[in-house]
């Protein structure tokens, strides 16, 4: 019997950019370890097209993603909540079974101004910052799991 994968919920206010970037990255690098989802405290109702575009550049498909409210997860056993903006951190409820909470704020690329290319550059920068942070997090969790398994095997 395989126990269910722990749920990691990534929260942002609008659930249109940062949380989807993080969800896509974390699912790509650690989908074997976790169920990954994202939501917002005030969902925008869409995933920003530039978020979809910059993730496609790194071969992560967000085209099937949609904006969700964080209350959709209140009845779920969420192991870890990661907030990627200050407003979501302040609005974040405790979820049943929640063991961990992290707050890693990133600039909201939806606020980028300038030409289309300048906006894309901001989305790419934020994507790369999120990829670095969430890849390191996944590596740490993977190492943690290996240590736990090794300790269990020697017991």
Q: Map out the domains of the chain as residue ranges.
A: 7-154
Annotated catalytic residue within 50, 54, 81, 85? 85
Range with the poorest average pLDDT among 9-13, 96-100, 151-155: 151-155
> CATH assignment of 7-154?
3.40.50.2300
CB count, 10 Å around CB of 135?
A: 15
Q: How far apart are CA 36 and CA 23, in angstroms?
A: 6
CB count, 10 Å around CB of 78?
A: 25
Q: Any residues with CB less than 8 A from the CB of 5 and at least 6 apart, and which?
A: 33, 34, 35
pLDDT tens column, 17-73: 999 999 999 999 999 999 999 999 899 999 999 999 999 999 999 999 999 999 999
Annotated catalytic residue within 10, 11, 12, 37? 12
Annotated catalytic residue within 10, 62, 92, 138? 92
Catalytic (active site) residue 85? yes
């Amino acid at each position: 019997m395989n126990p269910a994968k722990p749920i990691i919920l990534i929260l942002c206010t609008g659930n249109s950019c940062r949380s989807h970037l993080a969800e896509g990255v974390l699912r790509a690098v650690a989908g074997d370890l976790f169920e990954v989802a994202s939501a917002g405290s005030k969902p925008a109702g869409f995933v920003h097209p530039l978020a979809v575009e910059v993730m496609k550049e790194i071969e992560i498909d967000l085209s099937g993603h949609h904006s969700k409210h964080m209350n959709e997860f209140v009845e779920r056993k969420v192991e870890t909540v990661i907030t990627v903006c200050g407003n979501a951190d302040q609005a974040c409820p405790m979820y049943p079974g929640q063991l961990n909470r992290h707050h890693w704020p990133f600039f909201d690329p939806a606020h980028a101004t300038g030409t289309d290319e300048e906006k894309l550059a901001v989305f790419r920068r934020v994507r790369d910052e999120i990829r670095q942070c969430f890849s390191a997090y996944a590596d740490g969790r993977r190492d943690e799991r290996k240590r736990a398994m090794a300790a269990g095997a020697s017991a």
